[in-house]
Amino acid sequence: MSSSLSYEHKIINYSREELIELVKAAVSESRFEHILRVEKMALKLAEINHFDLEKTSIAALTHDYAKQRPDQDFIEEIHAKQLDPELLSANNAIWHGVVGAELIKDELGIWDEDILNAVRHHTTGNPEMSTLEQIIFMADYIEEGRTFDGVDKARALTFNNLRDGVQYQIKRTIQYLIERNKNVYPSAIDTYNAWVAK
């Protein structure tokens, strides 16, 4: 299915194959393979949820575009775009989404805000997430290469109801971090409060 998808140029004026080449050149081999698996899963979730396949493909292919950039690239972009100065105290996990979206505008010419928000919010989620944001958030979590305990349950929940999958991932991720005394990003807590807390 994914290999036969061809863009109708609603978002960008170049082809899926050209976008794939640009992404491939920006990341490692293993990261690139993950990105292709995320696209495959995202397209499946888009079909289940009757969502636009072209927008889904572009968001999936670009979600980790900036993952392997040096910290300095993000710091410069935060200054150049006058983004929230608090971002300067974050790290790659946050930057590759929130600041990565700016690099995607600059370097890939993608300006669709729904796609950019899906990239911005794919690490921590967000209190409000569109269908596309939920698709990318979940596809990243349950793509075929993932093997964590509970991934089968996560897939079953998500295929049945996208929002149930989102809730499951948010809760499981925060549980995992707390059990290991790891840092929880404030934005992940905001997401938890909006999606899970009663």
**Piece of 17-25, 63-71, 84-92, 177-185 that binds Fe ion (CB under 5 A):** 63-71
Binding track, positions 122-161, relative to Fe ion; x by CB under 5 A: ------------------x---------------------
Is 64 a binder of Fe ion (CB under 5 A)?
yes
Give whichever of 55 and 121 is closer to Fe ion, judged by the CB atom.
121
Q: How far is the CB of 62 from Fe ion (least distance, A)?
A: 11
Q: How far is the CB of 8 from Fe ion (least distance, A)?
A: 26
- DSSP output for 119-183: HHTTTT--SS--HHHHHHHHHHHHSTT---TTHHHHHHHHHH-HHHHHHHHHHHHHHHHHHTT--
Give whichever of 35 and 50 is closer to Fe ion, judged by the CB atom.
35
Site for Fe ion (CB under 5 A): how many residues? Answer: 2
- Which pair of structure tokens corresponds to residue 105? 């505008």
Q: How far is the CB of 151 from Fe ion (least distance, A)?
A: 15
Give whichever of 27 and 162 is closer to Fe ion, judged by the CB atom.
27
**Tokens 């971090």, located at residue:** 177
What SS3 state is found at 7? Answer: coil
What's the alpha-carbon Rg for the chain, to the nearest Å? 16
Is 39 a binder of Fe ion (CB under 5 A)?
no
On whether the CB atoms of residues 67 and 32 are closer than 8 A, the answer is no
Q: Measured between alpha carbons, how far is 58 from 61 in angstroms, rounded to an integer? A: 5
Chain residues that interact with Fe ion, rule: CB under 5 A: 64, 140
